[in-house]
Chain A
Amino acid sequence: MPLSSRHLLGLQGVPKEDIQLILDTATTFREVLERPIKRVPTLQGKTIVNLFYENSTRTRISFELAEKRLSADAINFAVSSSSVSKGETFKDTMKNIEAMKVDMVVVRHSAAGAPQFLTKICDANIINAGDGIHEHPTQGLLDMYSIREKKGKLEGLKVCIVGDIAHSRVALSNIFGLKTMGAEVSVCGPLTMIPRYIEELGVKVIHNIDEAIQENDVLNVLRIQLERKAREYFPSIREYARYFGITEERLEKNGKEVLILHPGPINRGVELSSGVADGLNQIILQQVTNGVAIRMAVLYLLGTLK
């Protein structure tokens, strides 16, 4: 059964069958990645553009690797903010790229809705690699994949997303995807970092980290942005670490086995204590491989759609 949409713009509204299909396909590709020859010819002759308006080496490399493993031709197109300020618009750039007859565009952009905009002005399959504070669907799929790998299921699990929910593109993708798959989702963080209407998405709001630990099977801990703008939402890093940071003592005190995910890189001593971060190393490395497998699955499923 093929995917129901020719783009992956977000996980909002993506049916359960599609998510299931992507996760299952990723399992197959995960095996490919364990082989000595990691390349499959499935997207031979397809051209994929990685259009990055924001610097995100990790996401870009993950997509690039996935494209190479599928034998597609990958073109990287990093747009510096300087060419934007020179007056070349998003639309101009896209029109230039389309002239190269590309099959798929992987786009990362600081403005929410930029991938939707692309679907209106070009014919390629569009894959959202993160748009503003909206969605980052492949990261959401990766998190679900990792949870399923560790816990064996998603349905009925209690998952809490911890951190700056309001300025995260990962949070929404997790919320939409996990809820579709039957998990119970909550968010935990300072109220200044929680969107006011998040509960209307069927999400519980917690602002006590101990409660979040006690009540959940999985904590998906977001990276706290430490630049000045983000820093206006909480009093100090020290205070954040003390009241929302996850430490070994905290985990021990609550005496509960929880699976902790983090998209990396970790701010040690802020959202996770050094000890907790050390314990996560193994999982984070696995997540890198899982990330390639998920992106291979998405590219493969979209690229072979009729």
Chain B
Amino acid sequence: MKTILKNVNLLHPEQKINEKGKDILLIDGVISKIGGLSKEDSTDAKVFDFSGKYVVPGFFDMHVHLREPGREDEETVVTGCNAAANGGFTGIACMPNTEPAIDSAEVVEFIKKQAANHLVDVNVVAAATVGRKGEIISPMAELREAGVVGFSDDGFAIKTSAILKRALEYSQMYNLPIIEHCEDETLAGGAMNEGVNSTMLGLPPIPSIAEDLIVMRDIIIGEYTGGKVHIAHISTKRAVEMVREAKKKGIRVTAEVTPHHFSLTDDAVKTYDTNTKMSPPLRTQEDMNEILKGLKDGTIDCIASDHAPHSPEEKEVEFDHAPNGITGIETEVGLALSELVHKKVLSLEELINKMAVNPRKILNLPVPKFEAGQPANFTILDTEEIWTVDLSKSKSKSKNSPFDNRLLTGKAVAAVNNKKMFYQDKFVEL
């Protein structure tokens, strides 16, 4: 089948491509020609006019919670992938805190089977320890053979320094990262960031040093073992500073940040809206400023949603009792364009690096290429469209987001991958 994407702007910072007003010819989902299309090329082709839109390498979110297996009422592999496609992503990595945890090849295969034939590629992050209990490292060699791209006990940091050291030693044989949820359990356990707001709201506080201490530990053990440490959802000023210093020293550490940590502060908790409760918690303006600086100077490698669906029964409760986490994969691109590109924190090219290139590099995955013969793996962006978030239109099974009704500038209008395109609210075969 022939498809033409008409009059697009191509932007691929890795390949140094920046071309305006091109037509792309796809045949059966594979790039056939970029520009210079003949009359013959157009015969029988389905044409999509994307005038003024950017075609960029398909975005990749390396931190997504699909609730399958275990909590299919909140999200399944398929609904999570639909939400990802709607958010403009062509690939995701899913986290292992399912029930049972992803700590065996069987569970990995089950998830891959559920995701088969979807537009969105699902990569699996397996548990770093058996049952995420922090006692014995998971069968990493076998898991790698089953195709996992990293290891994490997300929800917790790996419990002890000794186990983390072992996990970093073992995983580096396969060059796979240990993805850490950095939080000292003995200091955490509260409901929001410790600050003047937690004092005023009477909510049990989580001090920022709970994150700082584990980031420090992980960098030190990372340096000692030579393993790859990836800091998930970085949220504090001090943590960003430490990652910056570690990178200067050549330590193999990378970091991601969530859209909520670069667009909200703990002021948002003032309404006691449980959709402002997540782990790590929303921090202060000072922390956010350092995050923006870290995004700009490259300390923070990528943007990831930490998409965490929860049912209304679980979230519509007292703040103290609500579980952590918000959905985010469908608002991620809009928030990134609004808060980072339009506010001149990042150029569009830099944003593409953080949303398409770097996450794949961290997980040793190939970056989609713009050349004839390559499968089409694109995100199509309208950087100027002004739109309002409407959660009732979300493709996720859960709607626990604090961004409902938020006005955003810029969105992903389409995602193209695996011979499919998600466009105007539906999947189209290519």
A residues contacting B by CB (< 8 A) are 12, 89-91, 109-114, 116-117, 131-135, 169, 172, 195-198, 200-201
| Pairwise interchain contact B199-A131, C-beta atoms closer than 8 A | no
B residues within 8 A CB of A113?
Answer: 201-203, 272, 318-320
B272 touches A112 (CB 8 A): yes
A201 touches B196 (CB 8 A): yes
Interface contact B316-A112, CB-CB below 8 Å: no
Pair B195/A112 contact, Cβ less than 8 Å: no
Residues in A neighbouring B195, C-beta threshold 8 A = 197
A109 and B203 form a contact (CB under 8 A): no
The smallest C-beta distance from B404 to any residue of chain A, in angstroms, reads 14
- With A133-B204, A197-B195 known, 17 other A-B pairs at CB within 8 A are A89-B317, A90-B318, A91-B317, A109-B318, A111-B319, A112-B201, A112-B272, A112-B319, A113-B201, A117-B318, A117-B319, A132-B203, A195-B199, A198-B199, A200-B196, A201-B196, A201-B200
Determine whether the beta carbon of A196 is less than 8 Å from that of B318: no
Contacts of B198 in A (CB 8 A): 195, 197
Minimum-distance CB pairs A-B, first 8: A134-B202, A113-B272, A111-B318, A112-B202, A111-B320, A200-B196, A197-B196, A195-B199
Q: Chain B interface (Cβ within 8 Å of chain A)?
A: 194-196, 198-205, 207, 271-272, 313, 316-321
**Chain A residues, CB < 8 A from B319:** 111-113, 117
22 contacts between A and B (CB under 8 A): A12-B200, A89-B313, A89-B317, A90-B317, A90-B318, A91-B316, A112-B272, A112-B320, A113-B272, A113-B320, A117-B272, A117-B319, A132-B203, A133-B202, A134-B201, A134-B202, A169-B202, A172-B199, A172-B202, A195-B198, A197-B194, A200-B196
* Cα of A116 to Cα of B276 in the assembled complex, Å: 15
Q: Is there contact, CB below 8 Å, between B317 and A132?
A: no
> Residues of A contacting B271 with CB < 8 Å?
116
Q: Is the CB of B199 within 8 A of A197?
A: yes
A174 to chain B, nearest CB (A): 13
Given A109-B318, A114-B318, decide whether A134 and B203 contact each other with a Cβ distance below 8 A: yes
Looking at the assembled complex, report how far the CB atom of A161 sits from the nearest CB atom of chain B, in whole angstroms: 14
Distance to closest chain A CB from B240 (angstroms): 21
CB nearest neighbor in A for B271: A116
Select from chain B the residue with minimum beta-carbon distance to A89: B317
Among B199, B203, B205, point to the contact of A201 (Cβ < 8 A): B199
Residues of B contacting A90 in the complex (Cβ-Cβ under 8 angstroms): 317-318
Are B199 and A89 in contact, CB atoms less than 8 angstroms apart?
no
* Chain A residues positioned under 8 Å from B272 (CB to CB): 112-113, 116-117
Contact A196 B194 (CB under 8 A): yes
Instruction: Kindly state the separation between the CA atoms of A90 and B236 in the bound complex, as whole angstroms.
Output: 33
Contacting pair A89 B316 (CB below 8 A): yes
Q: How far is the CA of A133 from the CA of B194 in the complex (A)?
A: 14
Q: Please determine whether B199 and A135 come into contact, CB atoms closer than 8 angstroms.
A: no
Q: Which residues of B contact A200 (CB under 8 A)?
A: 196, 199
Closest Cβ of chain A to B149, distance in Å, is 38
Q: Report the separation of the CA atoms of residues A154 and B211 in the bound assembly, to the nearest whole angstrom.
A: 43
Which residues of B have CB within 8 Å of A169? 202
Contacts of B202 in A (CB 8 A): 112-113, 131-135, 169, 172
The smallest C-beta distance from B40 to any residue of chain A, in angstroms, reads 62
Instruction: A117 to B320: give the CA distance in the assembly, Å.
Output: 12
Set of chain A residues within 8 Å of B194, measured between Cβ atoms: 196-197
B residues near A135, Cβ cutoff 8 Å: 202
> What's the nearest-Cβ distance from chain B to residue A201, in Å?
7
How far is the CB of A185 from the nearest CB of chain B, in Å?
14
Nearest Cβ on chain A to B281's Cβ, whole angstroms: 14
- Considering the complex, give the chain B residue whose CB is closest to the CB of A87: B313
Complex alpha-carbon distance, A84 and B55, angstroms = 52
- How far is the CB of A84 from the nearest CB of chain B, in Å? 9
Report B345 CB to chain A, min CB distance, Å. Answer: 28
How far is the CB of A278 from the nearest CB of chain B, in Å? 33
Contacts of B321 in A (CB 8 A): 111
CA distance A172 to B202 in the complex (A): 8
Which single residue of chain B is at the shortest CB-CB distance from A200? B196
- CB-based nearest A residue for B195: A197
B199-A112 in contact (CB<8A): no
A135 vs B202: C-alpha distance when bound (angstroms): 7
Residues in B with CB closer than 8 Å to A112 are 201-203, 272, 319-320
Give Cα A110–Cα B317 distance, bound, in whole angstroms. 12
Shortest CB distance A187–B (Å): 11
CB closest chain-B residue, reference A172 = B202
Q: Which residue of B lies closest to A133 (CB)?
A: B202
- B201 contacts which chain A residues (CB < 8 A)? 112-113, 134
Closest Cβ–Cβ distance, residue A119 to chain B (whole Å): 10
**Closest B residue, CB atoms, query A165:** B199
Using Cβ atoms and an 8 Å threshold, which residues of chain A touch B199? Answer: 172, 195-198, 200-201
User: What chain A residues lie within 8 Å of B200 (beta carbons)?
Assistant: 12, 172, 201
CB-CB under 8 A from A114, the residues of chain B are 318
